[in-house]
Amino acid sequence: MGGAFAKHLLAAGFNVIGYDVATAAARALARTGGTPVRSCAEVAARTRTIITSLPSPAAMEEAFFGKQGIAAGARPGTIVIEASTMTMELKESIRRRLARQRVVLLDCPISGTGAQAAAKDIAVYASGDRRAFNRCRRIFDGFARSTYYCGEFGIGSKLKFVANLLVTIHNLSTAEAMVVGEKAGIDLGLLYRVIADGAGSSRMFQVRGPMMVRGRYLPPHMKSKIYQKDIDIIRAFVRRLKCPTPLFDSSIPYYAAALRQGWSLHDTAAIHSVLRKRAGLKGKP
């Protein structure tokens, strides 16, 4: 995500500096015209607007409050656009801790995969201080297809949970359709073209259907092991609401099976392989 944001912001005329624990990502930033630096603290010291996109709570803690974290370098008035999918409690805790330094955190999760981010085909669900959001409007326009201001801090994350609940279901429904079609003897390329153009399509059918047609789930738009974190967050969220989610609940075992069967580093489209195995299909589609 971060590399895609940087590429689009550079193309839009922004000066971009960045830090990533992966040296390959830093080299990629330099190749596209950005400036890699040695720590999150250095990023914070050199800019007044920061975008964070992080994979885990541990990474969040280190990036914000580690020895060389954002809090160590940020000046009063800095705005942080927080684009990760994390629990409400974690984001609220970070917001409060940064506020003591007069640093504003915006809750801005992204709807879309890494591949969609690379194509500038993502939506931002922004929430938090309205004036800070207004100051960042050109930045959002620089890396996203669309941006929605959703209200008070945390509404963006709630909307992302709803969006990912649907992604979880639609990804499985795509795999189910592919396996039914294969068992029925339909050419999967034909199935994809016809269904994608009709009422039965979904964005996940369009994004992950081609991977299922090929029976190859690399490179991943979203690694299965990382998406499990999102599933756990949504499950905890809906349980607190005491809201029935029958389709989401029924989807979860297939994602868990994909991890057990060795697909953790592959795209979540690998649940297609789980269904093919249960259907008794062998070899490539």
Per-residue pLDDT tens digits for 70-96: 999 999 999 999 999 999 999 999 999
pLDDT given at position 54: 94
Domains along the chain with CATH numbers: 2-153 (3.40.50.720), 157-278 (1.10.1040.10)
Say which amino acid occupies 49.
T
Predicted confidence band at 32 (pLDDT cuts at 50, 70, 90)?
very high
Arithmetic mean of pLDDT, 117-139: 96
- pLDDT digits over 156-211, tens only? 999 999 999 999 999 999 999 999 999 999 999 999 999 999 999 999 999 999 99
DSSP string, 116-139: HHHTT--EEEEBS-HHHHHHTHHH
- pLDDT digits over 234-276, tens only? 999 999 999 999 999 999 999 999 999 999 999 999 999 999 9
Q: Burial, 100: exposed, middle or buried (Cβ in 10 Å; 0-12, 13-18, 19+)?
A: exposed
DSSP string, 208-249: HHHHHHHT---S-SSBHHHHHHHHHHHHHHHHHHT---HHHH
**Residue 115: is its pLDDT beyond 90?**
no
